[in-house]
């Protein structure tokens, strides 16, 4: 049954739905299994599977065949959690229109008509064969595999010639590779390659950073060609990182994570001509982190419906992956004031352990949120957040240091920050009566005013 899944993420998405409490009216007979799945929509999805002729029908909007509801229903059936019974109307009608698998006969070849027996009316047009929905997917997988193999060969050439090769200083060297990766439909890696081009010669330690990023690209290229052998959650993370898109409708059809979500921080960046906003949320009951993304073309406004310091009681739907940080906001049940006493801040050592666990789950992650109780301190030309358990550096040249010092007065204070491979980026200072947003913005005029 698992072999029917179109991709590893489909199995991952089906697992939370494969519980009897998510289904109503389930049943099976010698030909089919059926049921109604309650999800993110107002009406339950009607799902039926022909387990003899191997076909699927579901009222959900997914274009993936079989969808996660069909896979979940099959999982329930395989576990013996679907009772025998008489099919309801929606299942009876669909199965009745299905061909009988036992009556399949070889096609008959009609004799060519003679002039005496040839019909005078025009013959009916030949039926158009149905398009196999897996064909496009298989073609894309083949293109992605070829692109990842080409990337690995390119990386071998770069390592063999060394980082002193003058061609690395030419942007065209990286842009041509990125364009080929886009053609191979691994756009996530193309974005990393273009960012890597800006590291060459940017600072005295650029060789170290470029080599580390080349190693990450090799890791993703190797993992992307072995998705079938990875665990489902890890395979989902790899697929999303290299550029496989997940439809929002599929995410919203999953199991919601309901909590009172505190908006802990905001971080804006610019990628080419697109501005990206990351909103970091933390469940006040669960303590789990989540990230809501929004995008805007240059010069347009980003989503401002989740101001830092607010709390929203809402359903969040997580994208598949090992960490599952990215979410979509579902139904809002209400908003309430942020309770500073409920804020849980970690020590520097605990924050480092949290980041280490995240890196172990997804070694290629570039950002991870932490909330630490620490004081800003300076050592040489570098700023740190420090406490009795250790110190962690801030990103060189990060904005907001002045606001951080003014709010803390040099004492330990709760700070939400983004971990990156180059240090922490402060996002929010949590005071007793308010929060101060010090996160980066993609607007260069704002950056100049804050410097």
Q: Which of the residue ranges 1-5, 36-40, 240-244, 254-258 would you say has the lowest mean pLDDT?
A: 1-5
Contact 384, 378 (CB under 8 A): yes
Section 159-169 average pLDDT: 88
**Model confidence over 363-406: pLDDT tens digits?**
999 999 999 999 999 998 899 999 999 999 999 888 888 899 99
Q: What's the chain's average pLDDT? A: 83
pTM reported for the whole predicted model: 0.68
- What pLDDT is recorded for position 41? 60
Section 188-209 average pLDDT: 87
- What pLDDT is recorded for position 272? 67
- What pLDDT is recorded for position 263? 95
The winner for highest mean pLDDT among 220-229, 334-343, 415-424 is: 415-424
Instruction: Return d(Cα 87, Cα 71) in angstroms, integer.
Output: 19
Instruction: Return d(Cα 2, Cα 274) in angstroms, integer.
Output: 39
- What pLDDT is recorded for position 87? 86
Contact 421, 437 (CB under 8 A): no
Has residue 142 got a pLDDT over 90?
no
Q: Indicate the domain borders of the chain.
A: 2-99, 137-224, 253-339, 342-450
Q: Which of the residue ranges 138-147, 173-182, 358-367, 394-403 would you say has the lowest mean pLDDT?
A: 138-147
- DSSP-assigned beta bridge partners for residue 283: 261
- What pLDDT is recorded for position 111? 41
Q: Which of the residue ranges 240-244, 280-284, 370-374, 419-423 would you say has the lowest mean pLDDT?
A: 240-244
């Amino acid at each position: 049954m698992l072999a029917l899944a179109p991709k590893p993420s489909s199995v991952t998405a089906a697992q939370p739905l494969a519980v009897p409490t998510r289904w109503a009216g389930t049943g099976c007979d010698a030909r089919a299994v059926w049921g109604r799945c309650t999800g993110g929509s107002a009406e339950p999805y009607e799902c039926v599977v022909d387990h003899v002729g191997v076909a699927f029908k579901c009222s959900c909007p997914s274009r993936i065949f079989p969808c996660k509801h069909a896979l979940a229903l099959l999982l329930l059936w395989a576990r013996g959690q679907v009772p025998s019974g008489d099919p309801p109307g929606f299942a009876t009608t669909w199965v009745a229109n299905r061909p009988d698998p036992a009556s399949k006969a070889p096609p008959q070849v009609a004799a060519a008509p003679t002039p005496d027996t040839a019909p005078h009316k025009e013959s009916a047009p030949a039926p158009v064969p149905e398009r196999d929905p897996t064909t496009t997917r298989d073609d894309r997988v083949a293109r992605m595999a070829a692109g990842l193999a080409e990337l690995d060969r390119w990386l071998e050439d770069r390592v063999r010639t060394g980082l002193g090769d003058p061609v690395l200083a030419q942007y065209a060297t990286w842009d041509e590779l990125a364009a080929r990766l886009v053609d191979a439909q691994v756009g996530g890696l193309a974005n990393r390659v273009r960012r890597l081009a800006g590291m060459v010669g940017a600072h005295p330690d650029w060789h170290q950073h470029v080599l580390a990023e080349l190693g990450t690209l090799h890791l993703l290229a190797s993992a992307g060609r072995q998705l079938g052998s990875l665990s489902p959650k890890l395979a989902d993370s790899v697929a999303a990182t290299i550029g496989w898109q997940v439809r929002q409708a599929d995410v919203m059809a999953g199991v919601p994570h309901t909590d009172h979500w505190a908006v802990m921080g905001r971080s804006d960046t610019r990628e080419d001509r697109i501005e990206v906003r990351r909103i970091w949320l933390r469940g006040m009951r669960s303590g789990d982190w989540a990230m809501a993304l929004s995008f805007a073309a240059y010069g347009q406004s980003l989503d401002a419906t989740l101001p830092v310091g607010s709390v929203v009681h809402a359903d969040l739907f997580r994208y598949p992956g090992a960490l599952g940080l990215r979410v979509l906001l579902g139904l809002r049940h209400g908003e309430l004031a942020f309770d500073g006493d409920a804020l849980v801040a970690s020590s520097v050592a605990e924050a480092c352990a949290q980041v280490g666990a995240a890196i172990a789950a997804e070694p290629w992650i570039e950002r991870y949120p932490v909330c630490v109780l620490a004081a800003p301190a300076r050592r040489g030309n570098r700023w740190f957040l420090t406490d009795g358990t250790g110190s962690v550096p801030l990103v060189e040249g990060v904005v907001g240091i002045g606001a951080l010092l003014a709010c803390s007065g040099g004492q330990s204070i709760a700070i939400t920050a983004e971990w990156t491979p180059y240090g922490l980026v402060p996002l929010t200072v949590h005071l007793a009566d308010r929060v101060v947003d010090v996160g980066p913005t993609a607007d260069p005029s704002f950056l100049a005013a804050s410097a």
